A and B are shown apart, each in its own frame.
Chain A
Amino acid sequence: MGDNHNPDQPENESFAESRRNFLKNSSLLTAIAVTPGVVAKAAENDLGEKIASAFEKVPLKMEINGVKQQLSVEPRVTLLDLLREQLNLTGTKKGCDYGQCGACTVHVNGQRVLSCLSLAVMHEGQKITTIEGLAKGDQLHPMQEAFIKHDGFQCGYCTPGQIMSAIACIREGHAENEADIREFMSGNICRCGAYPNIVDAITEVKNNGQKL
């Protein structure tokens, strides 16, 4: 983050900025200013801001971990931030926000997707599965069991992404041998370095042949 505006035009406010300011500061408050009393109250409660942000939101329907959700989100919100910051599904991790680490991997309609690289509104009507949606009650998913058994993690921060990727890797047919697993799991960084144990866990689940 930072002050990375266009240095050649320091005084030019971007279109988006002026639009947002316009929404926040003028028309809405004026529009609802039926009486001075309401204006005072609206200002007090940040109502202008709330209305402004409501105008910036779009409705969004998704199914997350089997639960149908009717949401209202700003178009600029990523799927990752929607999950983590608005839906309290913090199992999906942010490791870079640039599609370079795999920590944010979720399944969209059964396929692995980097949730930091896609906007929430792109997933209208789709089925999202996060790490929280894998276990059936107390019964862990076989990949979760295998990660515990083979100690496929240390700090655990990359783990949800590794597990979501691992399941997809088998489904895609990319877990035929260890070399394949290593190749097709290379988008998921584990800085603790538990890679060989992760490979062992995936190999075991693959060899057990269950449908995932």
Chain B
Amino acid sequence: MNEAFFDKKDYKSLDRVDGRLKVTGAARYSAEYQLSGLVYAVLVESKIAKGTIKSIDSKAAERAPGVLAVISHVNAIKVPGYQTSNQHPSEPPVNGQPLRAFYDNNVYYNGQPVAVVVASTLEKAQYGASLVKIQYEKEQHKTDFDANMESAVLPAQAKKNPKSPVADYSRGDKNAFANAPVKIDAEYVLPTEVHNPMELQAITAHWEAEDKLTVYDKVQGTQPTQKQFAKEWNLPPENVKVIATFVGGAFGNGLHNWPHETAAIIAAKQVKKPVKLVLTREQMFTMVGYRPYTWQKIQMGATKDGKLVAINHESVGQTSSYEEFTESTLQQTRMMYASPNINTRYRILKLDVSTPIWMRGPGEATGAFALESAMDEMAFSLNIDPIEFRLMNYTDSDPDKQLPWSTKYLKECYDAGKEKIGWEKRKMQPGSVRSGEWLVGYGMGTGTFGANRGVAAVRAELDAEGNLLMQCAITDIGPGTGTAMVQIASNTTGIATDKITFQLGNSQFPKAGNQGGSSTVNSVGPAVQAACNALKEQLKTMIASNGGSQAAFASAKTDDILFVNGQIQIAGSDSAKVDIGTLFKQNNIRKIETTQESKPDENRNKYSMYAFSMHFAEVHVHSLTGQIRVKKVVCCADAGTIISPKTAANQMIGGATGGIGMALMESAIIDHRFGRYVTKDFAEYHVPVHADVPHVEVFFVNKPDTLADPVGSKGLGEIAIIGVAPAIANAIFNATGKRIRELPITPDKLI
């Protein structure tokens, strides 16, 4: 295809390969494996934000019917990996000491798991948990970001390594802002947001033998989790099996292993039965990470005719007292626009809260809110159209890495989106377009995210009926990984998609990392291609050895070997048609198989690789009540080749929805008197619902980036959300003239 297109329902695109399982309820998620002898675990949380546990009275709980054990630091078995050193056994994705389940009596935050009650039924475990009585020695806690911001520090990794991405950065003249003719100087705040996937975090832990552990776990990487638990329990990795066949959304919270997982494994070991542990919705706010509260400041300078001369961008993000979570909040400021002078400064603020973790679009989405708002503010001050202003400062190579882009088709995104949203209806002067009592505004925001690629391997097996089976340890948290991989395999071999199966979500399958950072298609896709090509090579050799008219296969190019109507042929020639069943019979085999690994190549050192997106929003604001309705969203993506248009478009729509949440409703609030969240369910923490999300138009440039990877894909998950929130904030400014720099933008801020 490789032609740009708007999402429409008439292109040929594979239906989701696991769709039938999902619409019939047959798809099994981590809490849905009914193992024999299964018992239930319910966590007890700390009720103070800082201090120590003086005593735990578990007598009443232990006496309650059906309760098998009450486990806390007092009686938990020693986790071998916890004892070997002061360090957690894993290589944590964040610096510091991840929280160890029931390790000692320290309380680091309010809502920390401090005990677990195991019982024969869920209700009995829940009741048992309500009977556990804990006495604390309280210490003064710090949870208020604003009150403590001056205690922010440079992350340890930046102290050690001045080249770290979170170290201070400076390009050109450090003081250029001071002399800029036109200036913007503004602060932006993004509150804590919580991933809140619909599936509650769950683990079913089963010790199949004294030294053999199987977990059905809601994670984004089966093998990273396997490695973690192998170290934690001092087992050879092959003794740990991690199953995550279906993951009910995660958005980043499955990129870290959390104490509740180890709690369930400890419990299973102690009661000698498989244990199921499912978090409650309020525990989702304190036990599995969140997007950190972040303060930002941007100083932007430009010439009167619209050339950027300076950007200073500062950021402080919240983290826990025990781990240093960092993210790339400032990265796009360094590479997005052609400003000769740029300074960035990143700090973290340690508070008595749980550790954050990357949430969709992670730091880049946070950073884009500030950068793209500031760009809009500057364009307005200069009286230049915001798209024009961005084009005036467009870069044809990466000014940060000083490398050429592998590909960049952002201008195509501007053009397509501008037309679709009806940009010509936008007026520079805020409040000039009305529809009855509603003020109408248009806004846009740009997004970018690294076109990441990791190592992945795929096993492929072809049988005599022409069925292709592939396996990889990767997970699918929702984007439709299986569907995309089946499509890639079909494109590579010509085998009909209904004869191809892609199995995933099992640590025993070939190598894969986490599903995260928009890297799955870019990493696993090439391995699928490689495995398919290796199978074709085997077939080629087998066929050519038959001689006669089939000898021509020996010199055929691998790319040209294709299945056409179930028979193997050399494409574009009237070569012999070989029936696979006959071929296998002649060779006395039932199937052929191969495992192929694919990894990033040296192009990564020669080019700067990013995916880009452009989001447009039309927003109506009620002139009296300040009520905000997002009327239309247009999302345009330069994500390389689009493998599976239907699922890709859906992913973009999901990003737009997430962006609407960021812009207008999501905010987790702590009552600092207790250091405890007061928003801990969907009644208090608002996420977009049907009525909040309008029709979303999705446009793909669909040009391959084969420098990034052989599939030509640059990744989609993050750019789908990065830039949406500022597009909405900018549209609200255009509608009302009110510049809101603290998310979410709620009606009270507009009246």
Contacts and interface: CB of A to CB of B under 8 A. Distances in A.
Contact of A140 (B23, B196, B689): B23
Interface in A68-89: 74, 76-77, 81, 84-85, 88-89
A37 interface: no
Nearest to B247: A155
A196 interface: yes
A88 B133 CA distance: 33
B130 A3 contact: yes
B248 interface: yes
Contact of A186 (B131, B247, B689): B689
A182 to B, nearest CB: 4
A148 B478 contact: no
Contacts of B361: none
Interface string B239-256: 000000011110100000
Nearest to B721: A193
B249 A77 contact: no
A183 B682 contact: no
Nearest to A183: B691
B344 to A, nearest CB: 31
Interface stretch (B38-46, B289-297, B376-384, B495-503): B38-46
Interface residues on B, range: 35 or more
Contact of B690 (A81, A140, A151, A188): A188
Contact of B249 (A24, A149, A155): A155
A100 B679 CA distance: 13
A205 interface: no
A25 B66 CA distance: 11
B66 A144 contact: no
Contact of A154 (B130, B196, B478): B478
Interface of A is mostly: loop
A93 B249 CA distance: 13
B198 A154 contact: no
A191 B198 contact: yes
Contact of B26 (A20, A49, A91, A186): A91
A53 interface: yes
A52 interface: yes
A96 B25 contact: no
Interface in A85-133: 85, 88-98, 100-101, 103, 130-132
A189 B137 CA distance: 40
Contact of B23 (A49, A90, A159): A159
Nearest to B476: A155
Contacts, number: 230
A192 B654 contact: yes
A23 B682 contact: no
Contacts of B651: 154
Contacts of A130: 25
A103 B31 CA distance: 15
Contact of A195 (B9, B29, B47, B693): B693
Interface in B224-278: 246-249, 251, 278
Contact of B133 (A10, A153, A186, A197): A10
Contacts of B690: 181-183, 185-186, 188, 195, 198-199
Contacts of B66: 49, 53
Interface string B665-708: 00000000000000001110001111101111000000000000
B691 A186 contact: yes
B248 A90 contact: no
Contacts of A131: 23-25
Given A195-B690, A197-B653, A85 B22 contact: no
A170 interface: no
- Residue from B42, B123, B480 with most neighbouring chain A CB atoms (10 Å): B123
A135 interface: yes
A163 interface: yes
Contacts of B650: 151, 154, 192, 194, 197
A150 B15 CA distance: 8
Interface in A142-166: 144, 147-151, 153-160, 163
Nearest to A21: B63
Contact of A3 (B122, B133, B247): B133
B24 A135 contact: yes
B681 A98 contact: yes
A90 B25 contact: yes
Given A1-B280, A24-B65, A85-B122, A191 B15 contact: no
30 contacts: A1-B126, A17-B131, A21-B65, A52-B65, A53-B65, A53-B66, A74-B123, A89-B25, A90-B31, A90-B32, A94-B278, A96-B281, A96-B681, A97-B280, A98-B281, A98-B683, A131-B25, A132-B24, A157-B197, A157-B249, A163-B23, A183-B690, A188-B689, A190-B657, A191-B198, A191-B687, A192-B657, A193-B654, A195-B653, A198-B690
